[in-house]
């Protein structure tokens, strides 16, 4: 399965600094919700017409995203996410597309990850 990655050429339209900041901040906050596995807050962060492209497949709409998250949950416990090299591009209409690298770091076995929900967000 493949995803439709945006080409990283010059943007078709200029993205203002506030929109760029908000997009990157959104990506980072969503990944913190993943780190703590706050699935209700995670779903609430997205609009009803959300589209998520993931190496394991595409989810279109909150119902598909909820099903994806339920299936994905066991392997995500005990993992921290680090995002870098965010590129914010114009999408169709008023949409924007954020392309970035994500590094996943396993910091605990899934079976012990429940303790991490209240642990400080730090790596020693």
Closest by CA position to 26, among listed 45, 51, 40 = 45
Beta bridge partners of 87: 99
For residues 45 and 22, the answer to whether their CB atoms sit within 8 Å is no
What are the boundaries of each domain within the chain? 17-116
Phi/psi at 88 (nearest 5 deg)? -110, 120
Domain 17-116 CATH assignment equals 3.10.450.50: yes
Q: What is the pLDDT of residues 91-122, one digit of tens each?
A: 888 888 888 888 988 877 777 766 666 666 55
With pLDDT > 70 as the criterion, what percentage of the chain qualifies?
81
Taking residues 45-58, what's their average pLDDT?
88
């Amino acid at each position: 399965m493949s995803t439709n990655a945006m080409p990283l050429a010059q943007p078709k339209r200029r993205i203002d600094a506030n929109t760029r900041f908000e997009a990157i901040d959104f990506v980072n906050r969503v990944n913190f919700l993943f780190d703590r596995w706050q699935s209700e807050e995670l779903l609430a962060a997205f609009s009803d017409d959300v589209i998520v492209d993931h190496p394991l497949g595409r989810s279109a709409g909150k119902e598909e995203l909820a099903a994806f998250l339920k299936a994905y949950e066991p392997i995500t416990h005990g993992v921290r996410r680090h995002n870098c090299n965010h590129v914010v591009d114009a999408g169709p209409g008023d949409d924007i597309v954020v392309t970035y690298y994500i590094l996943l770091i396993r910091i605990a076995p899934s079976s012990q990850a429940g303790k991490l929900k209240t642990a400080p967000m730090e790596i020693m």
